[in-house]
A and B are shown apart, each in its own frame.
Chain A
């Protein structure tokens, strides 16, 4: 799997969909490809957020610490972006991510990511658009909930 393949994966991520191919290539090039064994954690809830991950191959589980122990709230598949909220908002990890099976991911370093955003407005806009979309969805969900 090469840089080109990673760029293809990145293109599947909604947040990165509209970004220039050259920029996506730069993003991929400045990221690291890492392999997690099944059961190995990407990070744990409460850790400092230092990177975001794009799953290239494999699956990962989202776990939440609760008074009753860890519970699984979701599963992420290929091309899923995870941990981006933490590096944007500078807050600790809100959940634990654990590889379900041997998984390969692209690790996007926080500092590099922020520098790319600062350098290329187009990238920053794409991220903003995605965040706004999510906010709108949340709002819609809230309205739906309060209506019901």
Chain B
């Protein structure tokens, strides 16, 4: 009797879940070393895929769970990045440690999220989209121009020589050796990023089935009905915005430290759109799907960058089509084709797939 009331993990008979986890862990550990065989550039690409997983899962809270279309997500990422850049670089001569700045950046981004959300959350779907888009552009334009009369952001040149993440004397930017294994800077960041990504995945999973998560889903499906059920829709929506924004802020801080350089160029609307595309392409509201989307959309352009030039040379003996534009062309076509043949995303949750199948009948 009481056995039925307790919540048990759902196991598929005949499968050993720990084996899967072990395999996944082994792959995660192996990635930076395998990637390093092709040069440190590939480790950096791996790092960026994880950073984008982080961002995409943050946006997933807003778009996937709460169903609020946010086209200015990159603004929060920018706030986090600039917070880190200004407080840990020679620009102002301030060098605070990362464990002070990252929470500060997350907090600031959260405040920005509430500032944007509070007046606009009564807007319906597409109106909200355009307002968030405008907000993202406003933030970017300010970062581009706040170098006069007081030089705050150093304008379009951006801020350079940003401190790497450092714990005591242990810097994430240098190569060091543990237990006879040499770790390069990017490889060390890789493990930091994996830890952060695991954190955000756990948060996402816990949120999904929590009271708040179910409230978000209720709002997404039918806001009026959710309100009638006693959900304080305004506060719950604000919470989604604030949480998504905080994740963006943390990701921005890590980005800043990892790159050592930020400029407004990194925070264009195209960036917001790419992150949104990761969420939708992978499968909105479904964590493994979003992760897949982030990895694919970071990896595909890079793979194309390295693949197109040799391919053209091999086929035609010279460059016929400008590789950069061909790369973007393929990227755009991939978005169109995936959406055409898998409208719910590459890896949608089983529930969503069922809903779609029902509505098609």
Partners in one complex: no
* A residues lining the B interface (CB < 8 Å): none
Chain B residues at the A interface, C-beta cutoff of 8 Å: none
